[in-house]
């Protein structure tokens, strides 16, 4: 591990050899034209999926949305999930639940980045961002459902139960035939159609469905039919998660930030987010698998072992990512004894750290990025350290 980490650090430090090594290719959307590339026996399921998405889009559009958009802000903070159980029976909690119900889209999902503080008014948009009317991005939809479950368990009335079931049905409807989830549903095109691991979107969906399937604790109220559907979706999602793990030289490594909607191959997202191995997303997936499977079956154990081995080898030793002085751009600097760092992205072919800029150029040295991107994105992370420690226990 140490030799690999030092080698990675030396590679990053060799700016004299840095170069533009490629161009980011945008992720293809899921369209009917792509159905021709899908095996004939699977096309009907994908065609039905697109029909379902288009129907959901029409359903959302039928609601007049000419009013002022909801306030943007920290949505998760307005829906606390760690209060004592009795708190979820209070008027304060019921008010938040009422707001959640009011902002549920006709298709059943929720938008992101909107504090659940004031009830939606007639005609008001369901989301502050028009392309995110029903999304898993930034913990949306899953947080709303988990909050509703706590209120229901504390004695919440039928409207909360109905909203919860509609939300879970949205999650089931949004799942691709191959088991993955897009970032946004109904589909809106672009990278939003990709199977999304970024921000733990797919992990959050799997975790929630797994809890519903067990029917315990906050989810004991779930009807048997809903639990069965949740378990089936969870199994399909787990299979897609394992299939999305990148294999290099016959060995499983990490996961990408996004995967193609159909093939589950790594794809890019925004201009500066190339198709690559993603350290933080891989750490989040591994943390979920380790927690969900105390005694993992062979295929899960294989995935965990490969991912952990890859993260150990990708660590960068004796470096810090910081601004040398106030007002200066951040740099990767020598710092003997520093805690391990990981680059956000690693090249799929070479395993070396890579970095993207807004013009879609891909670089092998973070210092070659524009100042705006170098300072405006989390190019390095310490997140994998926690999962490596958990695996060691």
Residue 31 confidence (pLDDT) above 80: yes
Total-model pTM: 0.93
What residues have CB less than 8 Å from 118, skipping those under 6 apart? 70, 71, 99
45 Rama sector, left if φ>0, alpha if ψ -120 to 50, beta otherwise: alpha
Range 15-21 average pLDDT: 67
For residues 199 and 279, state if they share a domain.
Answer: no
Active-site position among 43, 270, 312, 360: 270
Q: Considering the domain boundaries, does residue 265 fall inside one? A: no
What residues have CB less than 8 Å from 43, skipping those under 6 apart? 35
Does the CA dihedral 310-311-317-322 come out positive or negative?
positive
Q: Considering the domain boundaries, does residue 260 fall inside one? A: no
Provide the mean pLDDT of the chain. 93
For residues 230 and 298, state if they share a domain.
Answer: no
For residues 80 and 196, state if they share a domain.
Answer: yes
Active-site position among 60, 116, 120, 138: 138
At 122, the pLDDT band (50, 70, 90 cuts) reads: confident
Look up 60 and say whether it is catalytic. no
CATH code of the domain containing 115 = 1.50.10.20
CA dihedral 221, 89, 140, 73 (to 10 degrees): 180
Q: CB of 127 within 8 A of CB of 106?
A: no
Q: How many CB atoms lie within 10 A of CB 374?
A: 17
For residues 346 and 382, state if they share a domain.
Answer: yes
Range of the domain at 86: 29-251
The pLDDT, as a whole number, for residue 7 is: 46
Look up 146 and say whether it is catalytic. no
Residue 219 confidence (pLDDT) above 60: yes
The pLDDT, as a whole number, for residue 392 is: 79
115 Rama sector, left if φ>0, alpha if ψ -120 to 50, beta otherwise: beta
For residues 92 and 44, state if they share a domain.
Answer: yes
For residues 101 and 210, state if they share a domain.
Answer: yes
Q: Considering the domain boundaries, does residue 68 fall inside one? A: yes
Q: Considering the domain boundaries, does residue 261 fall inside one? A: no
Q: Which residue among 191, 217, 251 closes a domain? A: 251
Range 261-287 average pLDDT: 98
**Count of domains observed in the chain:** 2
Q: Considering the domain boundaries, does residue 349 fall inside one? A: yes
The pLDDT, as a whole number, for residue 248 is: 94
Q: Considering the domain boundaries, does residue 120 fall inside one? A: yes
For residues 36 and 20, state if they share a domain.
Answer: no
Supply the DSSP symbol for 341. B
Supply the DSSP symbol for 20. E
Q: Considering the domain boundaries, does residue 300 fall inside one? A: yes
Residue 1 confidence (pLDDT) above 50: no
Q: What would the two tokens of residue 240 be?
A: 């897609």
Q: CB of 240 within 8 A of CB of 175?
A: no
Residue 74 confidence (pLDDT) above 80: yes
Q: What would the two tokens of residue 111 be?
A: 């938008």
Q: What would the two tokens of residue 291 be?
A: 């927690």
For residues 3 and 132, state if they share a domain.
Answer: no
| The most confident of 5-19, 297-311, 319-333, by mean pLDDT | 297-311
Q: Which residue among 218, 251, 284 closes a domain? A: 251
Encode pLDDT of 143-187 as tens digits.
999 999 999 999 988 899 999 999 999 999 999 999 999 999 999
For residues 113 and 184, state if they share a domain.
Answer: yes
Q: Which residue among 193, 221, 251 closes a domain? A: 251
Q: Considering the domain boundaries, does residue 262 fall inside one? A: no
For residues 234 and 317, state if they share a domain.
Answer: no
For residues 171 and 121, state if they share a domain.
Answer: yes
For residues 282 and 246, state if they share a domain.
Answer: no
């Amino acid at each position: 591990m140490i030799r690999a980490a030092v080698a990675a650090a030396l590679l990053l430090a060799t700016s004299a050899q840095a170069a533009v090594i490629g161009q980011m290719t945008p992720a293809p959307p899921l369209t009917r034209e792509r159905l021709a590339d899908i095996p004939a026996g699977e096309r009907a399921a994908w065609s039905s999926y697109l029909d379902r998405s288009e129907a959901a889009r029409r359903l959302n559009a039928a609601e007049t949305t000419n009013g002022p958009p909801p306030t943007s802000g920290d949505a998760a903070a307005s829906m606390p999930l760690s209060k004592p159980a009795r708190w979820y029976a209070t008027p304060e909690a019921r008010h938040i639940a009422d707001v959640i119900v009011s902002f549920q889209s006709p298709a059943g999902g929720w938008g992101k980045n909107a504090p659940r503080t004031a009830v939606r008014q007639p005609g008001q948009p369901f989301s502050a961002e028009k392309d995110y009317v029903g999304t898993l991005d930034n913990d949306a939809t899953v947080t709303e459902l988990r909050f509703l479950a706590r209120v229901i368990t504390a004695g919440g009335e039928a409207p909360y139960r109905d909203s919860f079931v509609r939300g879970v049905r949205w999650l089931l409807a949004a799942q691709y035939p191959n088991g993955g989830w897009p970032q946004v549903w109904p589909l809106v095109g672009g990278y939003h159609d990709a199977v999304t691991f970024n921000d733990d979107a797919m992990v959050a969906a799997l975790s929630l469905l797994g809890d519903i399937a067990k029917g315990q604790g906050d989810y004991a109220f779930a009807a048997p039919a809903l639990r069965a559907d949740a378990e089936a979706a969870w199994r399909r999602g787990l299979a897609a998660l394992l299939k999305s793990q990148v294999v290099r030289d016959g060995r499983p490594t990490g996961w990408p930030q996004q995967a193609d909607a159909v093939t589950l191959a790594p794809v890019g997202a925004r201009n500066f987010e190339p198709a690559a191995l993603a350290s933080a997303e891989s750490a989040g997936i591994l943390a979920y698998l380790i927690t969900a499977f105390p005694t993992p079956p062979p295929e899960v154990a294989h995935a965990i072992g490969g991912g952990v081995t890859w993260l150990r080898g990708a660590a960068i030793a004796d470096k810090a990512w910081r601004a040398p002085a106030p007002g200066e751009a951040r740099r990767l600097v020598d710092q003997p004894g520093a805690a391990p760092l990981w680059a956000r992205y690693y090249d799929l072919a070479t395993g070396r750290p890579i970095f993207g800029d807004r013009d879609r150029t891909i670089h092998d040295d973070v210092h070659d990025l524009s100042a705006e991107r170098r300072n405006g994105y989390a190019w390095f992370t310490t997140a994998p350290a926690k999962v490596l420690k958990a695996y060691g226990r």
